[in-house]
């Protein structure tokens, strides 16, 4: 037992050991009710908006150029690993244990005790463990979907949202809802073919489109 503790806390294994201890401590605190299970979580709806203003004086009128850069590829990577479908710490639990086992055993077999080589072993091991966690968390997706469905729709349907990425009847966009102090980001589409929603515009959430996995909205000015 002492040998295992010494190996676990050696420089070569300190990072995966620290991660595992953090996960264990987190669940102990959750069990005793000090924090909620979703205390540490991430928002998948990450966007970046870049506004570019340019002025031209050479025989042309001055003008502004506005652009938006969508970094939705990050969302796609996170969704691939089931993040957003299950809580972050559930996923990390399935990463931390196999990562610790893999790195500790690899360093033991190689006889490595240095941090630098330990990191070189850690990086590919972490990537492998992401895929292991993806497979292991698959059965939990429907469980958390069922738990969140009622609460989510109750919080979203009928609320006013602010469009953050443009949307139309054909093109999916995103919007933000201020739900009692917490911000909820949702995918949206326009309710009718002739509607277009621009960034910064307010809209009303009408219903959920389960097939497209988004919410159908209408411009809020239709109701005022």
Residue 45 confidence (pLDDT)? 46
Range of weakest confidence among 5-9, 30-34, 50-54, 211-215: 50-54
Residue 178 confidence (pLDDT)? 80
Average pLDDT over residues 11-26: 95
Is 197's pLDDT higher than 70? yes
Please state whether beta strands 182-190 and 160-165 pair in parallel, antiparallel, or not at all (unpaired): unpaired
Q: Contacts by 191-197 with C-beta closer than 8 Å and gap 24+?
A: 191/216, 191/217, 191/218, 192/218, 193/169, 194/169, 195/168, 195/169, 195/219, 196/166, 196/167, 196/168, 197/163, 197/166, 197/167, 197/168, 197/173
With the C-alpha atoms ordered 58, 63, 64, 67, is the resulting torsion angle positive or negative? negative
CATH label, 152-223, candidates 3.40.640.10, 3.10.20.30, 2.40.50.140, 2.40.420.20: 2.40.50.140
Residue 223 confidence (pLDDT)? 64
pLDDT digits (tens, 9 = 90+) for 34-79: 665 655 655 544 443 333 333 334 444 444 434 444 555 677 788 8
Is 214's pLDDT higher than 70? yes
Residue 41 confidence (pLDDT)? 58
pLDDT digits (tens, 9 = 90+) for 115-132: 999 999 999 999 999 999
Domain-by-domain residue ranges, the chain?
2-142, 152-223
Question: Which tops the pLDDT comparison, 76 or 220?
Answer: 220
Residue 145 confidence (pLDDT)? 73
Is 3's pLDDT higher than 90? no
The strand pairing partners of 174, in sequence order, are: 165, 187
pLDDT digits (tens, 9 = 90+) for 99-112: 999 999 999 999 99
Residue 61 confidence (pLDDT)? 44
pLDDT digits (tens, 9 = 90+) for 129-169: 999 999 999 998 888 777 666 556 667 888 899 999 899 99
């Amino acid at each position: 037992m002492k040998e295992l503790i010494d190996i676990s806390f050696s420089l070569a294994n300190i990072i995966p050991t620290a991660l595992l201890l953090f996960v264990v401590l987190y669940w102990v605190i959750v069990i005793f009710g000090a924090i909620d299970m979703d205390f540490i979580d991430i928002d998948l709806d990450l966007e970046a908006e870049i506004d570019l203003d340019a002025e031209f004086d050479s025989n042309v009128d001055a003008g502004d150029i506005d652009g938006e850069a969508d970094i939705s590829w990050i969302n796609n990577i996170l969704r691939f690993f089931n993040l957003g479908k299950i809580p972050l710490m559930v996923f990390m639990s399935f990463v931390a244990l196999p990562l610790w086992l893999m790195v500790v055993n690899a360093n033991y077999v190689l006889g490595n005790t240095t941090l630098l080589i330990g990191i070189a072993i850690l990086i590919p091991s972490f990537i492998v463990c992401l895929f292991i966690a993806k497979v292991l968390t698959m059965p939990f997706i429907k469980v958390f979907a069922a738990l969140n469905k009622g609460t989510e729709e109750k919080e979203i349907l009928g609320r006013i949202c602010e469009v953050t990425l443009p949307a139309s009847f054909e093109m999916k966009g995103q919007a933000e809802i201020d739900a009692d102090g917490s911000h909820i980001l949702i995918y949206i589409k326009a309710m009718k073919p002739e509607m277009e929603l621009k960034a910064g515009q307010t809209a009303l959430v009408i219903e959920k489109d389960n097939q497209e996995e988004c919410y159908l909205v209408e411009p809020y000015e239709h109701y005022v």
